[in-house]
């Protein structure tokens, strides 16, 4: 049974279900897969799918000093902002069509200097992302990439620890 958003006065048309199988996508949404890298499996010679993944990177110094909910909120802000900023990108589109199968990897850096260095490295390599800067304090708290095939972006995050 599909869940729907509660009716609101400001909706101009009825809300869409939160999850819709690809075969039932609205006509204005393409169900074609975006171009993505794939890897060949040695056993079968067939190409294995390259999963779309969104990386979220939090600051360990904030995890240790801020309330947990505040840090989680920062990651949510960055994730949504990265997706919204790239909503017309084919990978983002496909990632959102599979809303019940999203893949995120949440990592950590030590502090502000490291997150700023990572942002510069991603910019230099044209990896689209959002550095979330908490206002009004003007504190860079975390970053999130737009969804990418894992093979394209994983190398930029290999040296980072999983956030625990």
Q: What is the pLDDT of residues 83-97, one digit of tens each?
A: 999 999 999 999 999
What does the pLDDT read at residue 16? 43
φ/ψ of 22, rounded to 5, equals -55, -35
Is 22 among the domain residues?
no
pLDDT of residue 39: 43
Cβ neighbours around 65 below 10 Å, total: 10
Name the DSSP class of 44. Answer: T
pLDDT at 13: 40
Q: Does residue 88 lie within any of the structural domains? A: yes
Contact 149, 37 (CB under 8 A): yes
Q: What residues of the chain score a pLDDT lower than 50? A: 5-41
- Give the number of domains in the chain: 1
CATH number at residue 91: 3.40.1490.10
* pLDDT tens figures, 104-126: 999 999 999 999 999 999 999 99
> Is residue 77 within 8 Å of residue 132, measured between CB atoms?
yes
Does residue 42 belong to any structural domain of this protein? no
The neighbouring-strand residues paired with 109 are 59
For 106, residues 6+ apart whose C-beta sits below 8 A from its C-beta are: 55, 56, 57, 58, 75, 162, 163
Among the listed residues 70, 63, 91, 85, the one whose alpha carbon sits nearest the alpha carbon of residue 131? 85
Q: What domain range includes position 84?
A: 50-162
Residue 151 lies in a domain: yes
Rounded Cα gap, residues 126 and 120, in angstroms: 10
Q: Which residue has the tokens 């819709």?
A: 20
């Amino acid at each position: 049974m599909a869940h729907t958003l509660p009716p609101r006065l400001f909706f101009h048309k009825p809300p869409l279900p939160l999850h819709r199988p690809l075969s039932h996508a609205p006509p204005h949404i393409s169900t074609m897969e975006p171009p993505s890298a794939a890897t060949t499996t040695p056993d079968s010679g067939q190409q294995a799918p390259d999963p779309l993944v969104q990386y979220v990177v939090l600051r360990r110094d904030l995890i240790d000093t801020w309330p947990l909910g505040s840090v989680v909120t920062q990651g949510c802000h960055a994730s949504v902002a990265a997706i919204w900023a790239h909503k017309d990108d084919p990978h983002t589109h496909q990632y959102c069509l599979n809303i019940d199968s999203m893949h995120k990897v949440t990592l950590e850096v030590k502090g502000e200097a490291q997150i700023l260095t990572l942002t510069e490295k991603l910019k230099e390599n044209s990896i689209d992302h959002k550095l979330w800067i908490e206002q009004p304090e003007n504190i860079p708290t975390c970053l999130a990439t737009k969804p990418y095939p894992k093979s394209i972006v994983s190398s930029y995050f290999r040296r980072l620890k999983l956030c625990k």
